Chain A
Amino acid sequence: MMKYPFPRCLAAVLLCFAAVAHAQLSIEITGAGANRLPIGIANFTGERIISQALTSVLRADLERSGLFRLVETGVEPLAESAPVNYAEWKNRGADALTVGSVTPVISGSDSRYETRFLLHDVSKQAVLGGQTYLSSATQLRTAAHRIADYIYEKLIGEPGIFSTRIAYVVKSTGRYELQIADADGMNAQTALASREPIISPTWSPDGTRLAYVSFEAKKPVVYVHSLATGQRHVAANFKGSNSAPAWSPDGKKLAVVLSKDGSSQMYRLNADGSGVERLAISSGIDTEPQFSRDGQFIYFTSDRGGSPQIYRIPAGGGDAQRITFEGSYNVTPRLSPDGRSMAYISRNDGRFQLTLMDLETRQTQILTDSGKDESPSFAPNGRMIIYATEVGGRGVLAAVSSDGRVKQKLSVQVADVREPSWGPFIK
């Protein structure tokens, strides 16, 4: 064991850390949309034979979105093949109804499950559609998220985010863990454990890699980490500090902040760390770059005007344009997936609050009533924004819909959670 070269040895330590990391995120819904669509999710036939109740995951997903109201369906399971009494469901107040079945498929020693479902429009008395999934017992939760995505898209008219994942950092005493969990906080896995801080994780556009800043070398260094293999490489480790990575929309490049030339300035480089080019020159701090979704602009925080404000420059170079003017502290710009709005943190009377700006009208709306908001990140459908905040002196994650109505809180027992980043749609 003493002969282990360092990287393998470190990997072994990380594995041990991973094995004991079981802290699960728990989600509390603290607000809901004004007009929630009433939907019945009947128990699926065959569901009882498996330990995980598929429909309970499905119901929790839809309810958590704040856009659905669950209609009581009783315990009697309803298969997709059974006739639906529309009048009865209308009486129960449902506009939509989902029915389905789970059937074991035995092939050799491999036990898999086939999940089928149909989505009914109760008022139109018509089938809106349905799907079939084949999965192992451990993937049934994934199947439930897929069904939730399907229902959400059919009824709301935009893609659902129940199958997506989130990355965040858990800090317990003397230990930092970069974790990945399903969007409902379950299946938390540790991608990196360290004694030194980890900040600014951000997903590659294809969802296979994370870029982040780790202080394990006793100074900030930017890494790119492939989640499936656990392999990672240094993307930026120059003299001074290296931080604030942001992916270009094509996933080939990173914008980073380096202090190698004297102060914190923005650079662009290839994801493998090669081809460093400077993006802008200012006499002060330029940081927190983020590409607009069309790749045309880079939004960032700068104190070039005397206080930290948000600016943007053309990605190909050019003059900076100031975006925020209200107040003396506006930081951490994050563009919505449709490119129409920008989430950021503004300081108002000493409180740091998640704020949303309509980029066309420049109208702003403070989305929270908390005071220590940080690190906003849009869900890939733009509906929710996850961010870090503090409740009772502890770091928690919270999510709010971009209209400010739906609110959730995600926390871990006996630890601080911070630095959330919402992953892209799963292809």
Chain B
Amino acid sequence: MPNALLALIASLILVACGSQPPAPEQTGAKVEDRTPAAVKADISPVAPVVASQVGEYTLAMLRDPNSILSKRSVFFDFDEYVVKAEFKPLVEAHAKLLVANPKIKMLIQGNADERGSREYNLALGQRRAEALKKMLILLGAKEEQIEAVSLGEEKPRCTEHGEPCWGENRRDDMLYTGEF
């Protein structure tokens, strides 16, 4: 009974804190100068989609599996931070979106596989995020539109030990306003 009570109190506090529902694994960083467009705790089930409209795009469109823009990840070779040629069309499509919508912002989260030093991997993830950011800026996106951060090896998408998994974790994810 005391445990149950404790759990109840804890859950009440968590509710009071506006705890998020179990979010997709990679949720983005808060950027101070912007309010998240999606209204989280609203009862209305349609609110988030309407609220996150950006220019001619909506988050729903960005998530449409038929659109190349629904693809958000760029993968890297071991110990590398060069954006490979195969991801060029993807990066170009996202750059086009950023150019056409100067108000939309992007968070790039760089990631590394689990091998080696956590801090060095954090720096490696950062380098991967910066490489993608640089490429997007070369293609016309504005510096202020993009923040590049690193999650290092701390938030692996795949948790097995071995190359198939490690390859999946050496990755940049692109998140748009309302997604982080």
Interface residues of A in 1-60 (CB under 8 A from B): 1-2, 4, 6, 9-10, 12-13, 16, 19-20
**A124 an interface residue at 8 Å Cβ cutoff?**
no
Whether A220 touches B122, Cβ cut-off 8 Å, given contacts A241-B149, A329-B116, is yes
Measured between beta carbons, the chain A residues less than 8 angstroms from B118 are 199-200, 374-375, 419
Q: Which residues of B contact A240 (CB under 8 A)?
A: 126, 147-149
Interface of A is mostly: mixed
Complex interface: chain B residues within 8 A of A197 (CB): 151, 154-155
In the A-B complex, the 9 residue pairs with the closest CB atoms:
A219-B29, A264-B123, A197-B154, A218-B29, A219-B149, A331-B117, A285-B123, A287-B123, A16-B10
Closest to B149 in A: A219
Query: Contacts A1-B12, A241-B150: A301 and B120 contacting too (C-beta < 8 A)?
Result: yes
Interface hit among B13-21, B45-53, B82-90, B164-172: B13-21
**Distance from B60 Cβ to chain A, minimum over Cβ atoms (Å):** 23
Q: Is A332 an interface residue (CB 8 A)?
A: yes
Interface residues of A in 361-388 (CB under 8 A from B): 374-375
Q: Which chain B residues lie closer than 8 Å to A308 at the CB level?
A: 116-117, 120
Closest to B20 in A: A195
A-B contact list, 30 entries, CB within 8 Å: A1-B12, A1-B16, A9-B13, A10-B17, A19-B6, A20-B6, A200-B118, A217-B30, A218-B28, A219-B109, A220-B122, A220-B151, A220-B152, A240-B126, A240-B147, A240-B148, A243-B119, A259-B126, A259-B130, A259-B149, A263-B127, A284-B127, A285-B120, A285-B123, A285-B127, A288-B117, A308-B120, A331-B116, A374-B118, A419-B118
Q: Does B115 contact A (CB under 8 A)?
A: yes
Q: Which of A2, A257, A264 has the most CB of B within 10 A?
A: A264
Count the B residues whose beta carbon is within 8 Å of the partner chain — how many? 36
When C-beta atoms are compared, the residue in chain A nearest to B144 turns out to be A239
Known A197-B154, A217-B30, A240-B147: A13·B122 in contact at CB below 8 Å: no
Interface residues of A (CB under 8 A from B): 1-2, 4, 6, 9-10, 12-13, 16, 19-20, 197, 199-200, 213, 215, 217-220, 239-241, 243-244, 257, 259, 262-264, 284-285, 287-288, 301, 308, 329, 331-332, 345, 347, 352, 374-375, 393, 419
Please state if A244 and B119 are interface contacts (CB–CB under 8 Å).
yes
Kindly identify which residue among A13, A218, A345 contacts B14, using a CB–CB cutoff of 8 Å: A13
Query: B115 and A352: CB pair below 8 A?
Result: yes
Q: By the criterion CB–CB under 8 Å, are A4 and B117 in contact?
A: no
Residues in B whose Cβ lies below 8 Å from that of A287 = 119-120, 122-123
A243, B122: Cβ atoms closer than 8 Å: yes
Residue of A with least CB distance to B122: A243
B119 pairs with A12, CB closer than 8 A = no
> Is B35 at the interface (CB under 8 A from chain A)?
no
Are B147 and A239 in contact, with the CB atoms below 8 A? yes
- Complex contact A217–B29 (CB within 8 A): yes
* B146 to A: closest C-beta gap in Å: 10
A92 to chain B, nearest CB (A): 49
CB contact under 8 A between A352 and B16, given known A16-B6, A20-B6, A287-B123: no
- Separation of A241 and B123 alpha carbons in the complex (Å): 8
Residues 1-40 of chain B: 1 if any A CB is under 8 Å from the residue's CB, otherwise 0?
0000010011011101100000000011110000000000
Interface centre among A199, A220, A308 (most CB of B within 10 A): A220
Would A288 and B120 be within 8 Å (CB), given that A220-B152, A263-B130 are in contact?
yes
Cβ of A415 to closest chain B Cβ, rounded Å = 15
Q: A215-B154, A285-B120, A331-B120 are in contact. List 20 more A-B contacts (CB 8 A).
A: A199-B119, A217-B29, A218-B28, A220-B151, A240-B147, A240-B149, A241-B126, A241-B149, A259-B126, A263-B127, A263-B130, A264-B123, A285-B123, A287-B120, A301-B120, A332-B117, A352-B116, A374-B116, A374-B117, A375-B118
Closest Cβ–Cβ distance, residue A247 to chain B (whole Å): 15
Q: Which of B17, B125, B126 contacts A9 (CB 8 A)?
A: B17
Judging by beta carbons under 8 Å apart, are A259 and B119 in contact? no
How does the 8 Å CB contact mask read for B119-163 relative to A, with 1 for contact and 0 for none?
110111111001000000000000000011111101100000100
Across-interface contacts of B17 in A (CB, < 8 A): 6, 9-10, 13
